[in-house]
Structure 1
Amino acid sequence: MKSTSRRFLVIAVGVVAASTAVVVPYVLPNSDDGTGSHDGPGTGGGGAGGKSPPPRLLWNAPVAPETRLPDAAAGPVVVVSLPAGDVPVGFQVRDARSGKVLWVFKTVEGSDGDLESFSVDLDPEGTTAYIALPGGKVDARDATTGRTKWNYEMDRPESGGISWGTPSLAFADGVVYVTDLRRVSAVRSGNGGELWTVPLDDTTTTPVLVGQVLLVQALQHLYAVGVDEERVIWRMPTDQSALPIGGGIVFVTPRDTGATGAALDTLAIDIADGAERWSDPSAPHAVLEGHTKLPTKCPTGRRRHTRRARS
């Protein structure tokens, strides 16, 4: 059987002065294309004494210290934010291996004279950049050229809820899930066509896809939307800000109404059906969150959005 190896591109940020930092991509020596450091052709690493050679620097570029970068580049590009002070005003998309700036996005002024908020995320393959804009809008662009593939605008309720920021996204094969205000929609990633929309009764914040269930965080509730059923299959009142997930279980602390004055139990909820598997007042939410918190990212903009979770 032919052995294979994988190439990883690691992105690091090092502060070199009070106002600058450096984007430093490295390719690890165990490379599947033979470009990493190694003892001989096609060996993929493992120098004298069995020690791997150090990673090889590809390029660097000065950026502001506020810039947030991904831990690793899964696709052909990386996104580098362009802040003005503590306010993001746009971003660059750079070739991951050469550092060349491929295209630039800059936000515009809204009707109130302030810069419009935005957020950006790459799909899991790193080939499409999704720019989320106010008003439930999503602009899907080719990650390497910046060419617009499609635009989507969510049909949002005329009143009720809190309207601010930009939509939050989650990804699955061929589908982008969009949450904003009091709705969640499924959109075809190929052309932006809407597959379905489910109305909710609370202001949404972040979606997390676990198998065939989309967990939607809201200000005072956690919703579980069955992506096959196209409806809410269970809900729970909670105002926690993170979703600890593991083994098909989401750990939830119910919203404290102050009625009992007692410490609230941490509940282990089965994601598939919403059933309570166990509860434990001695397992504080903070401890569970520290061990099982689902990673989130916000490279630019003001809202979080989370990719597909594994359980």
Structure 2
Amino acid sequence: MISRDDCSDRPAKFLEGARSPTVVEDDGTIYGQVFPRKGQPDEVELHYYHLWRRDCGEMGHRLDAEHVSVLVRTGASIADAKALYWYAAAHEDTICDASHLARAATLHAEEHGGTIWISEGKHASFLSEAMCTHGCGGDRCARMKPLKAKQIINVGEADTPMNGMVWLNSIEWPLSGKLSRSDFPEMRVARVERLPETDIVWANPAKRPAQATILGANAGISGAATGIRATDTALDVANSSTSSALDTTTGKTGKALKGSSRNVWKAVKKSVQKTGEVLNGKRE
């Protein structure tokens, strides 16, 4: 599901053979990758990358590499394959990382794709519409429509691109890092298994306190936390009162979020700039 108001319209198709990511058109192309899960010969991991011409939210920038992935248990035939877990990347590797995962059964997506919500402008991926407001306040899933994907192209691996996708390793975006790691490490999967089957789980729960600090000035912070079972739990999808509370919270705090968003992102931008100065100093 993508926003009707997104400035990039749809995920982009990129020029084959170009070392720098060069947009051909915003046609809804999805790029795919598949590899065996280490130590599990009967499991494969599939990544689906939706790549955008630009991020046009707060702190916008050229190019945007986002994805969702699924861990599949293979069988004797394709018909026997079964999804085990789904993962949605949202602001990976940043202080506002709201990436999360869930059992495929929780999402009713064991034998087919799950419904993925892509936030307007920022393009973060979410496994639930209600999850869209659970980052640092910069995501919004409104006026959504189904994405009509034009095609899925296999990109191969970071060190062995396929189909002319030599732009995979460009330093202009963080795509190569996403290609080179699993979204389902053992500790992460074990955490999912410890929690109830109805739970969507934070991939990086340690970042939640910092995110709460960023949103601390927002009067709706306590309301947005409604339905959280524990630090690890992002959302209990079985609790109808939780959904109702989240809907109510969204309505009541919408104005507060809008008003505080710019200040929040200014604070994040300053933090990023300071981190960049430190890193540049180390490089020198």
User: TM-score range, shorter-chain basis?
Assistant: under 0.3
Please give the TM-score of this superposition, normalised by the length of structure 1.
0.24
Q: Greater relative contact order: 1 or 2 (C-alpha under 8 angstroms, separation 6 or more)?
A: 2
Q: Which has the larger radius of gyration?
A: 1
Of Structure 1 and Structure 2, the greater strand share is in: 1
